[in-house]
Amino acid sequence: MIYFDKVSKIYPDQSVALDSVSFSIEPNEFVTIVGHSGAGKTTLMKMVIAEDRPTQGAVFFESANIHKLGKGQMNKLRRRIGTVFQDFRLIANKTIYENIAFAMEASGRLDSEIKSDVPHVLELVDLSKKIWNFPHELSGGEKQRVAIARAIVNQPDIIIADEPTGNLDPINTLEIVKILRKIHKLGTTVILTTHDKDIVDEVCGRVITMERGKVIRDDKHGKYVL
Amino acid sequence: MIFTNFKRIIKSGFINFWRNGFLSFSAIVVITVSLTVFGALIFGSAFSRALIKEIKNKVDINVYFTLDAQESDIFALRKTIEALPEVNKVEYISREQALSDFKEKWKDNSLMIQGLEEIGSNPFPAALNIKAKEPSQYAGIATFLDSKGATSQPGLNIVDKVNYNQNKLVIDRLGRIIPAVEKSGTIIAIIFIMVAIIMVFNTVRIIIFTAKDEISVMKLVGASNFYIRAPFVVSGIMYGIFSGIFTLGILGVFAFYSDAMIVKFSGVQGVNDFSLLANVFSSYFIQNLGQIFAIIMGSGIVLGAISSYMAVKRYLRV
């Protein structure tokens, strides 16, 4: 489904974020990418949503080279990928409802669909009561659950979660991981990056370990080894 | 779907405008200041045009005739002068009229009237009052009067004097000053307008800078550039509309207030001498309200919309 072909990323200051990384991700996998800070996990995620471009190599989504897509195609691709970030990235001056509705509007969904789907997806992350609140009125864990709700509302093929629990306490972390597993069970591919050992052990799926821009381990049923 | 998108964009633009209340307010203040500069320039040029027109009106040449000149000869000369292309208007003032004008002017001054009575007969000559189309043309007319005139024909010397030389200095200066004023006025206007536009652009850029994370999130959920940008343009148009309304209010108050000030400072005499300057601003404002409204509103909306459009552009590259 996603294929990294010898992808390297060298920043203008000559620091190497990715060094000839190759691997592929199959549909309906739950992949955890682990590594220390600066190992290249976030850069890898940015490549998938074309927020960043590789210096060398290519990233394919199905058969399409992500970085060679036109603007319109790119927008369509992004609507098939749900993204969750460590810093939540909610739109500050929109309510929770509007934040999620915006993602649906962007993919051209009907008003009637938005009206029925938004409350439904908020129920899924247990935030129905906060539907008319603004992001700054929510706790970190709640914000992240909104971000997940936004990521899944368009029923994407893949969820990319880049250190989604980095800013959360252990209880909220567990909650987020539970939700991600639930989404995975419903048939969505999940790519999760983390440096939290407990999460890796909890998920108990495929684990890709990165160090200094390189993939050093790729285990089918991995444990946290670093 | 197009209608739905349009509706969503408008709604989102309104919500942005309302929820970013303070930022919207500061944009409105800056755009209002800029539009007021535009308005002041419009008024300034209207005022200077009225002033120049009035001064041009005040400049003239008078041809005074000898006391025994025949009216028929004067009319003949008037006809020749009227035929000149530079001449705008020629007015005949008979001796009787000159006398009654004098009496009217000094009716409250017994000394003057007494002096006049002592002379006994009517001391005033008949005169032709000549107005040219442009101040620079007076020299030509004066030359014509000197060379041709009735003066050159012996026995028919009915012209006593032409007062061009007395007015020459004023006329020459006006001929030079007026174009210079008009030219420098245009240059100053262009500079002011450019400064105002840059100011608005920078303010809107700062406002949209605060939304740059928001824009990148919108990009990452797959919104099209148009769909991201359009609500900002809608907000920009709203800044323009509100600024336009405030500016028109400010200009209206200014127009009526400054008219009162002109009367107060120049005095009744000044207003009488320069009749056009009485209520010059307020009457200009009322007469051209439609045009002023269109210019101010139009520039406000265009400024708001274009500056928002351009400011969003740089954050759409994600």
Q: Report pLDDT digits (tens) over A30-41.
A: 999 998 888 889
Tell me if chain B has a CB within 8 Å of the CB of A122: no
What are the chain B neighbours of A91 within 8 Å (beta carbons)?
A: 214, 217-218
Question: Which among B8, B222, B227 is the nearest to A76, CB-wise?
Answer: B222
Tokens of B249: 């209010």
Would residue B188 count as lying in a domain? Answer: yes
Q: Quote the pLDDT of residue B113.
A: 82
> At which residue do the structure tokens 């992500």 appear?
A66
- Please indicate whether, in this complex, the C-beta atoms of B221 and A106 are within 8 angstroms of each other: yes
> How many structural domains are present in chain B?
2
Range of the domain at B188: 2-56+173-313
Q: Decide if B164 is inside a domain.
A: no
> In this structure, are B139 and B8 located in the same domain?
no
DSSP chain B: -HHHHHHHHHHHHHHHHHHTHHHHHHHHHHHHHHHHHHHHHHHHHHHHHHHHHHHHHH--EEEEEPTT--HHHHHHHHHHHHTSTTEEEEEEE-HHHHHHHHHHHTTT-HHHHHHHHHH-S--PPPEEEEEESSGGGHHHHHHHHHHTTTTTSTT---EEEETHHHHHHHHHHHHHHHHHHHHHHHHHHHHHHHHHHHHHHHHHHHHHHTTHHHHHHHHHTT--HHHHHHHHHHHHHHHHHHHHHHHHHHHHHHHHHHHHHHHHHHHHHHHHHTGGGTTHHHHHHHHTHHHHHHHHHHHHHHHHHHHHHHHHHTTTT-
The pTM of the full predicted model, rounded to 2 decimals, is: 0.74
- What range defines the domain where residue A181 resides? 2-219
Does a structural domain hold residue A97?
Answer: yes
Greatest CA span in chain B, whole angstroms? 102
Q: What are phi and psi of A37, to 5 degrees?
A: -60, 135
CATH number for the domain that contains residue A197: 3.40.50.300
- Whether residue A226 is contained in a domain is answered as no
- From residue B313, give the alpha-carbon distance in Å to each of A110, A132, B299: 27, 30, 21
Model pLDDT, residue B274? 59
Q: How many domains does chain A have?
A: 1
CB neighbour list of residue B215: distance below 8 Å, 6 or more residues apart: B208, B228, B312, B315, B316, B318
Query: Residues in chain B whose beta carbon is closer than 8 A to a beta carbon of chain A?
Result: 1, 4-5, 8, 15-16, 19-20, 213-214, 216-225, 227, 318
- Looking at the complex, report in whole angstroms how far the Cα of residue B222 sits from the nearest Cα belonging to chain A: 4
- Give the residue from chain B lying closest to A153, CA to CA: B221
Q: How would you classify the pairing of strands A30-34 and A189-194?
A: parallel
Q: Is position B162 within any domain?
A: no
Q: Report whether A102 contacts B223 (CB < 8 A).
A: yes
Domain assignment of residue B168, yes or no: no
Give which of A94, A99, A143, A155 to mutate to test B binding, by max B Cβ within 10 Å: A94
In a mutagenesis test of the A interface, which of B3, B9, B220, B229 is the best target, namely the one with the most A β-carbons within 10 Å?
B220
Residues B253 and B305 placed together within one structural domain of the fold: yes
B217–A89: do the CB atoms touch at under 8 Å? yes
Does residue B214 belong to any structural domain of this protein?
yes
> Is A73 within a domain?
yes
C-alpha dist (Å) from residue B71 to A14, B77, B158: 102, 10, 10
CATH of the domain at B98: 3.30.70.3040
Show residues of chain B in contact with A111, CB under 8 Å.
4
User: B293 and B214, same structural domain?
Assistant: yes
Cβ distance of B220 and A75 shorter than 8 Å: no
Does one domain contain both B192 and B256? yes
Nearest chain B residue (CA) to A79: B222
Closest alpha carbon within chain B to A150:
B221
- Residue A154 forms part of a structural domain: yes
**One domain for residues B204 and B257:** yes
Partner-chain contact B221 A89, CB within 8 Å? no
Q: Helix, strand, or coil here: A176? A: helix
The secondary structure element, H or E, covering residue A148 is: helix A140-152
Let me know whether B297 and B211 are in one domain: yes
pLDDT for residue B235: 94
What is the amino acid identity at position B261? M
Measure the CA–CA gap between A31 and A184, rounded to whole angstroms: 10
A150 contact B CB<8A: yes
Do B46 and B71 lie in one domain? The reply is: no
User: From residue B309, how far is each of B35, B230, B245, B303 by CA, in Å?
Assistant: 19, 8, 22, 10
**DSSP string spanning A50-116?**
TSS--SEEEEEETTEEGGG--HHHHHHHHHHEEEEETT----TTS-HHHHHHHHHHHTT--HHHHHH
Counting as low any pLDDT under 50, the low residues of chain B are 150-152
B4 → closest Cβ in A76, A93, A111: A111
**Domain contains B61:** no
A111 touches chain B (CB under 8 A): yes
Set of chain A residues whose Cβ sits within 8 Å of the Cβ of B214: 91-93
Contact at CB, B214 and A102, closer than 8 angstroms: no
Answer for the pair A209, A35: CB distance below 8 angstroms, yes or no.
yes
Distance of CA A14 to the CA centre of its chain: 27
Smallest Cβ–Cβ distance between A106 and the set B15, B222, B318 belongs to B222
Can you name the residues that pair with B131 across neighbouring β-strands? Answer: B89
Same domain, B303 and B203: yes
A20: left (phi over 0), alpha (psi -120 to 50) or beta: left
Contact yes or no for B222 and A71 at CB 8 A: no
Q: How deeply is A130 buried, as exposed, middle or buried, from its count of CB atoms within 10 A (0-12, 13-18, 19+)?
A: buried
Any domain includes B230: yes
Residue B77's pLDDT is 82
Q: How far apart are CA A197 and CA A214, in angstroms?
A: 19
Q: Determine the pLDDT at residue B152.
A: 46
- The rounded distance, in Å, linking the Cα atoms of B248 and B285 is 10
Instruction: Tell me the C-alpha distance between B303 and A43, whole Å.
Output: 39
Q: Are residues B240 and B93 in the same domain?
A: no
pLDDT at A159: 94
Q: Are residues B76 and B211 in the same domain?
A: no
Burial A155-179 (b: 16+ CB within 10 A, else e): ebbbbbbbbbbbbbeeebbbbbbeb
Does residue A225 lie within any of the structural domains?
Answer: no
In a domain, B166, yes or no: no
Instruction: List the pLDDT tens digit at each of the 226 positions of chain A.
Output: 999 999 999 999 988 999 999 999 999 999 999 988 888 899 999 999 988 999 999 999 998 999 999 988 988 898 899 999 888 889 988 999 999 999 898 888 899 999 999 999 999 899 999 999 999 999 999 999 999 999 999 899 999 999 998 888 888 898 899 999 999 998 999 999 998 888 888 888 899 999 999 999 898 887 777 6
Please give the pLDDT value at position B49. Answer: 78
ipTM of model over 0.90: no
Using the beta-carbon criterion (under 8 Å), do B1 and A93 form an inter-chain contact?
Answer: no
Residue at A212 is within a domain: yes
B37/B181 same-domain check = yes
Name every chain B residue with its beta carbon within 8 A of the beta carbon of A102. Answer: 218, 221, 223
B191 and B298 belong to one structural domain:
yes
